[in-house]
Structure 1
Amino acid sequence: MRALPRLALAVLTAAATVAVVSATADAAAEPTPITVLTSDFEDGTTQGWSGRSAETIAHSTAVAHGGTGSLLTSGRTATWQGPSLDVLGTFEKGTAYTVSAWVRMSSGSDNARLSVERRTGGVASYDQVVGNTAVTSGSWVNLTGRYTVATDVEFLRVYVETASTTGDLYIDDVTASYVPALPIQTDIPAVKDVITEFPVGAAITGAETVTQHGQLLTRHFDSVTPGNALKWDATEPTENTFTYAQADPLMAFAKTNGLAVRGHTLVWHNQTPSWVFLGADGQAMTATADDKALLLARLENHIRNVAAHYGTDIGVWDVVNEVIDESQSDGLRRSNWYNVAGLDYIRTAFRVAREVAPHAKLYINDYNTNVPAKRDFLFGLVQQLKAEGVPIDGVGHQVHININWPTVAETKAMIDKFVPLGIDQQVTEMDVSIYTSSSESFPTPPADRLLKQAYVYRDMFALFRQYPGEITSVTLWGLADDNTWLDTYPVARKDAPLLFDTTLQAKSAYWGVADPSKIGASASASVSPSVSVSPSSSTNPGTGSCAVTYRVTGSWPGGFQGDVKVANTGTTALTSWKLAWQFTGGQQITQLWGGTHTQSGAAVTVGNASWNASIAAGGSTSFGFLGSWTGTNPVPAAFTLNGTACSVL
């Protein structure tokens, strides 16, 4: 999966939920949200808010988002200290709450987070509702996310914290609300009953196992994939200290309800704690014999513990994830794993997984495997490793696609490529975005996009069903549109990529899988997912004023995700662009989408992609990236576009 960490016991989204209207019938309007919490600090009190330690919490009239009052937190000595409110008697288990808070620094800048602390049996756990978001002293910033309590708790507090500094901060106009749940539809066919050629699964968090979500999951799907709960940062956050607090409840739910489980993932370059790549001297590992031996020993220890913990309860493992980078001459991703251990980390991972879980099918998993260059590099790697005796049983195709890309023919070529290897193939993380570029954003999914999406699902599932002996499972990356990683990736906006909408009702996409004849009587057969858009490009430079919005949309140990919006505030259209800035905290971009980039030391330059080269006067475009960081992650202070200094929003 190519996403930010999404904790298994909470629903995390970066935008407010919106209703998706089915194209097959007139859908009722989404119920009016019910507000259960309001803190506006207009009465001169702290309204029940307190600190998490010895910091000072006080009413303030120095600044306010609305009215004249706000809440000031001062005297902070740690980044996790901040304003906190008890919501144990407010939030109910199984209900998805939209939590919103306006935040502002007293001076300087930082990244702020909206989080929840919960305790069960005296054991504390921490969930991010909204990840790192740039906040300054110059303006108020809204943190809005969704949160579901998925387990019984005896302690539950929502709080605001920062990532790097301990400066004073303000909050104001905090609210929490929920939309009354609708019953799931029981008069429509179950997906698992219609698709009989292979099991159909869904990626889940704890929120998908309770109330109506749990009912929808067990009614329609054969299997589940814990989206984040089995990754390294969740299972071994510190060396040789293993915890399964996130995954065990999901596994128990699966076992109780007869759902098969895909294990995801034992090795990935993301969501791996930074300590894994530190040598015995505490310094970053390099390609020395000692560092390689230590890294492979840690890898073996991790797999032996995690895979053994679940034994035969997990029948399929994504052993290694996203190891191909088609931009490299040899096609291999230059991850920390590869830079220190070469291909031996892949060989070791499969060997140890086979020893610990001899019953399980072992997969190598990757995205964009429909792209010929990536597909061919992956084929060559699997062919080589199998010839060496590495126990690879199958290839996982993530299939994160959109309504215009790829074509059915390109996807068919992807499947056909691996048939001669005699291995299984699975679709492991499928979703179909309604967006075709990072610059698009809709407050409500347009009906024509949902209709095209339905035809994509129709045609893709029809293709998969032609390979019952080759495609042995299809998993959707989520249950319903209320909880999808695409709400924050590649940019923050509400997406609608799954079969069921935000109220858990069947969409046209569902009918594309269950019964394409019911997609919609008024639907035009001319709408085809196989139509590709060929964007134009231009190399002529433009001039004009500019404004840049830089946001850190998520952060985890050693890594972060950024989103950058470039606005042309001048009167002349740009027909190509280059944005430049300096990182002052040693950050390094590891992957970028929506453009091309180079980095030399602290200096970063991002140029346009072919499809977003033109920015009209008054228009804007966006790109996103993944990066590494250690210690601090300060926001760049200045940007230039085509050599012209930009204002920073």
Structure 2
Amino acid sequence: MHATHAFPRLARRRSALWLTVCALVVAAVALAAPSGATATTPAAAPTAAAAQEPVTVVASDFEDGTTQGWSARGGETVAASTEVAHGGTGSLAVTGRTGTWQGPALSVGDLLTLGTSYDVSVWVRLADGTAGDTVRLSAERHVDGQASYHTLGSAQATAGGWVELTGEYTPTAAAEYVGLYVETASVTADFFVDDALVSYQPDPPIQTDIPSLRDAVTGFPVGAGVEPSHLYGSRGDLLAKHYESLTTGNALKWDATQPTEGTFRFTDADAIVDFATEHGMAVRGHTLVWHNQTPSWVFTDANGDPMTPTAENKALLLDRLETHIRTVMGEYAGRVEVWDVVNEVIDESQSDGMRRSPWFQIAGLDYIRTAFRVAHEVDPDARLFINDYNTNVPAKRDALFDLVSQLRAEGVPIHGVGHQMHVNVEWPSVAETETMLQTFAPLGLEQQITEMDVSIYTSSGESFPTPPEERLRAQAEQYRAMFQLFDRYADQITSVTLWGVTDTDSWLNGSRADAPLLFDREFQAKEAFWAVVDPDWPNGPGEPTGDCAVRYQVVGSWSGGFEGRVTVTNTSAEPVDGWSLRWTFGAGQRVTQGWNAELSQSVDVVTAENASWNGQLAAGGSRAFGFLASWTDANPAPETFTLNGVSCTTA
């Protein structure tokens, strides 16, 4: 344990750093709603279904002549109808509306499981003779007596045909009421709904027979940035198995905790802090002051107008800041050990290095001074950080260093510097990152890696439908190099936090899908994970003696089928131009589908040949591919593999 660590070191044991990887077989029966009924599932956490088939929790087709639990939100009439229908002969008619918000609603709170993402759809048609209008599929939630409303999807509807509304909804907190409803944007005319469906895709099970990050990485605690929805199902299982700390992704930002002046809510943050407490994890509070996600009211003057830089407005703004910090930090004093007090305050393009946010424009550096002073008064034992991105860039690094040096000299209680480390497979270099760490070392502060991820992209013009194997290998090499660097500075780096749980959850997913984390979209450990936890990566324990090495994994299994993943490594000193890997199944397994290779099977012999784009296998290089296959009574792993006719060792 390093004396400067912000997090208490939990009792650890060093596990064996190479375990046979196999996915647990978890199966569940997919529940389906019979025609003419609203189907329900228990509110227990869903488990993985065979072949990951969607599970239906609501299916309303209105064929039985009832409303099937749907009711009016106001004074309108909601009744079963046979006037028109999307499917079959029945639908739900909504008449007598006097407000656009009026429409059919279905209470679903007892049917939904926290943290599960539900796909919601319903078909809508406006009554004959009605002008077109936008129709919306929405959700209403009551938590702690406060109602909130969320639009899940919208579309333009007409009287001449049916339009489908679709959206997603993820419950993240226990609620007194959750309802789904349909409304219009402008008109109050009659309309019909039909064929409403709510379903979810079960999470795959996590791998339990692999090392835990918390055991394999011993120089510092490893954490994850999370949302409340990540605390349940397989994501929650991953967190509990692998991580020692949680950072509140959005739950403690200003818009989440004080959306309107004087009204505070902590429901989302409570869920994260409670989960961490239950699992013996530390918590990083993120963030008390930021130029983003701050409600507009914070920067309005006493008359409700936008603030200008006056003495009165500065006093009002700093008063609001103090009230906010005292309330939010006071709520978690003693439970949140580390806080990102101020976030992203540097703009290296400015002559003084300061971002021209409303905070700075109204209050200058005093907003930073006030934030740290008040935070320290509220919880003297908490460790207080200034957090920023691109701190490896010399101009930004130096501007942040100058600011922290100045404030520390003034007695401002800054205890540490947070380096976000949103990087990619090529940038930055280890040398650049080491210079970043060395720059701040003379200040005697803690340093933490606060939001790390490694994008597979190296430019804004790239987009991959599937992450290329060479990028995943480069990503693994970047993670390994960075973690080795962090370990060399473990006397100063007091935690490393990864920004998300699986590739699905990453903030980098937008117009293109990214894959920046250690676990993929199926909750399986990626090569990057092994690069971090296994000192013998990429060859497993010991150096293979042959010219090739193969890792064969069953990464998912269900009744009658399984998913396999194979990684072949060229351990010779010469490159391979075009490869063909062959093995024999010993229990009648049959390959049904493959990707990243051309697979064929003759009786029990399987041949996997390179795809058109991955035939080059450099010396020391690897290629990975996957497949789906059937099995009956047993599913043993193949015992031997040959690459272009040469026997390979297995890892």
Query: Fold conserved (TM > 0.5)?
Result: yes
Q: How far did 1:87 drift?
A: 2.2
- Are positions 1:36 and 2:57 aligned together? yes
Provide the C-alpha distance between the structure 1 equivalents of 2:360 and 2:526, rounded to a whole number of angstroms.
Answer: 42
Query: Which position in structure 1 is the counterpart of 2:259?
Result: 237
C-alpha spacing 1:281/1:453, structure 2 compared with 1 (3 Å)? same
User: Which one-letter code corresponds to 1:116 in the other structure?
Assistant: A
Distance 2:84 2:464 in 1: 32
Q: Give the deviation of 1:65 after TM superposition.
A: 9.6
In structure 2, do the counterparts of structure 1 residues 285 and 412 end up closer, same or farther at CA, with 3 Å as the change threshold?
same
SS at match of 1:228: coil
Note closer, same or farther for the CA distance 1:360–1:214 as it changes in structure 2 (3 Å cut). same
Q: Does 2:164 correspond to 1:145?
A: no
Q: Distance in 2 between matches of 1:142 and 1:407?
A: 47
Identify the residue that residue 158 of structure 1 maps to in structure 2: 180
Contact 2:154–2:165 (8 Å) recurs in 1: no
Specify the structure having the higher radius of gyration (Cα): 2
Shift of 1:498: 1.8
1:56-71 matched pairs, under 5 angstroms: none
Counterpart amino acid of residue 517 in structure 2: L
1:35·1:175 contact (CA, 8 Å) conserved in 2? yes
Secondary structure class of the residue paired with 1:324: coil
Closer/same/farther in 2, CA of residues 151 and 287 from structure 1, 3 Å limit = closer
Aligned CA-pair RMSD:
4.0
- 1:504-557 CA-to-partner distances (Å, cap 9, x unmatched) read 22222221211264556535799xxxxxxxxxxxxxxxxxxxxxxxxxxxxxxx
| Cα gap change, 1:286 to 1:42, in 2 (>3 Å) | farther
Question: What is the rounded CA distance, in whole Å, between the counterparts of 2:87 and 2:94 in structure 1?
Answer: 18
1:325 and 2:325 are equivalent in the alignment: no
Q: Does 1:91 align with 2:137?
A: no
Partners of 1:477 and 1:171 lie apart in 2 by 41
| Paired residue secondary structure (1:473) | strand
How many residue pairs match? The answer is: 494
Matched, 1:503 2:484: no
**8 Å CA contact retained: 1:103, 1:141:** yes
Distance 2:329 2:387 in 1: 17
> Given that residues 253 and 293 in structure 2 are in contact (C-alpha distance below 8 angstroms), is that contact kept between their aligned partners in structure 1?
yes
Distance change (3 Å), C-alpha of 1:262 and 1:62: farther
Match of 1:381 in 2: 403
Of 362, 366, 371, the residue aligned with 2:388 is: 366
Equivalent in the alignment of 1:522: 568
**Secondary structure in 2 matching 1:485:** coil
C-alpha contact 1:103 1:140 (8 A) present in aligned 2: yes
Write the distance in 1 (CA, Å) between the matches of 2:226 and 2:415. Answer: 24
Of 464, 472, 478, the match for 2:500:
478
Structure 1 residues 172 and 240: alpha-carbon distance in aligned structure 2, compared to 1, 3 A threshold: same
Name the CA shift for 1:128/1:183 in 2 (closer, same or farther; >3 Å).
same
Q: Which residue of 2 aligns with 1:417?
A: 439
2:324 corresponds in structure 1 to 302
Name the SS of the counterpart of 1:313 in structure 2: coil
SS at match of 2:52: coil
Give the residue type in structure 2 aligned to 1:87: V
1:152 Cα deviation from its structure 2 partner: 4.4
The AA in structure 1 aligned to 2:168 is: G
Aligned residues with identical type, % of pairs: 57
Shift in Å, 1:496: 2.6
In the aligned structure 1, how far is the partner of 2:51 from the partner of 2:400? 44
1:338 pairs, out of 356, 360, 380, with: 360
1:117 equivalent among 108, 127, 140 = 140
Q: Which amino acid aligns with 2:530?
A: W
Matched residue, 1:275: 297
- SS of corresponding position for 1:217: helix
Contact 1:79 1:161 in 2 (8 A): yes
**Stretch deviating more after TM superposition (411-420 or 432-441):** 432-441
Task: Tell me whether 1:390 sits opposite 2:409 in the alignment.
Answer: no
Is the 8 Å Cα contact of residues 337 and 381 (structure 2) preserved in structure 1?
yes
Distance 1:388 1:115, change over 3 A: farther
Matches of 1:416 and 1:50, distance apart in 2: 64
Contact 1:114 1:158 in 2 (8 A): yes
For 1:104 and 1:406, the matched residues in 2 are separated by 54
Check the 8 A contact 1:101/1:144 in 2, yes or no.
Answer: no
Which residue does 1:546 correspond to in 2?
none
Per the alignment, do residues 351 and 48 of structure 1 end up closer, same or farther by CA in structure 2, a change over 3 Å counting?
Answer: same
Measure, in 1, the Cα distance between the counterparts of 2:457 and 2:85: 36
Q: For 1:98, what is the secondary structure of its paired residue?
A: strand
Residues 185 and 277 (structure 1), Cα distance of their counterparts in 2 relative to 1, 3 Å cut = same
Contact 1:38 1:174 in 2 (8 A): yes
Is it true that 1:513 corresponds to 2:532 in the alignment? yes
Looking at structure 2, the residues matched to 412 and 83 of structure 1 have their Cα atoms a distance apart, in angstroms, of: 59
Q: Which amino acid aligns with 1:36?
A: V
* Amino acid across the alignment from 2:308: T
Cα–Cα, structure 1 residues 283 and 30, in superposed 2: closer, same or farther, change >3 Å? farther
After TM superposition, the score normalised by the length of structure 2 is 0.66
Distance 1:30 1:497 in 2: 26
Q: Deviations over 1:255-311 (max 9, x none)?
A: 122110101111111221221111111111110111110000000111111111111
Distance verdict in 2 for CA 1:117–1:447, change over 3 Å: farther
Tell me the CA shift for residue 127 of structure 1: 7.1
Q: Closer, same or farther in 2 for the Cα pair 1:198/1:101, shift >3 Å?
A: farther
1:349 and 2:371 aligned? yes
Q: Which amino acid aligns with 1:190?
A: S
1:232–1:272 Cα contact (<8 Å) kept: yes
Match of 2:201 among 167, 179, 184: 179
Question: In 1, distance between residues paired with 2:426 and 2:232?
Answer: 34
Distance between the aligned counterparts of 1:96 and 1:197, measured in 2?
A: 36
Contact 2:408 2:414 in 1 (8 A): yes
Which amino acid counterpart does residue 502 of structure 1 have in structure 2? R
* Structure 1 residues 194-234: Cα deviation after superposition (integer angstroms, max 9, x where no partner): 11111111112222323433232121111111211111122
Change (3 A) 1:146 1:119: closer
Residue-by-residue CA offset, 1:74-118 (whole Å, 9 max, x unaligned): 9888786665332235323454333456889997988x9765334
CA contact (8 A) 1:59 1:70 kept: yes
- 1:435 and 1:61 map into 2 onto residues whose CA distance is 54
By relative contact order (CA 8 Å, sep 6+), the higher-ranking structure is 1
**CA separation in 2, counterparts of 1:402 and 1:64?**
52
Aligned-partner residue type, residue 212 of structure 1: S
Preserved CA contact (<8 Å) 1:98 1:146 = yes
Q: Which runs of 5+ in 2 are unaligned?
A: 1-20, 26-49, 539-550, 552-566, 573-651
Tell me if the contact between 2:454 and 2:475 (Cα under 8 Å) persists in the aligned partners.
yes
CA contact (8 A) 2:99 2:188 kept: no
Partner of 2:218: 196
Residue of structure 1 in register with 2:576 after alignment? none
Q: 1:290 aligns with which of 299, 312, 336?
A: 312
Counterparts of 1:104 and 1:429, CA distance in 2: 46
Which amino acid counterpart does residue 145 of structure 1 have in structure 2? E
* Separation in 2, partners of 1:49, 1:443: 40
CA separation of 1:47 and 1:311: change in aligned 2, threshold 3 A:
same
Distance 2:150 2:488 in 1: 42
Give the Å deviation of 1:362. 0.7
What letter corresponds to residue 425 of structure 1 in structure 2? Q
Q: Which letter maps to 1:497? A: P
Structure 1 residues not aligned, in runs of 5+: 1-23, 527-649
Query: Contact (CA 8 Å) 2:339, 2:385: kept in 1 or not?
Result: yes
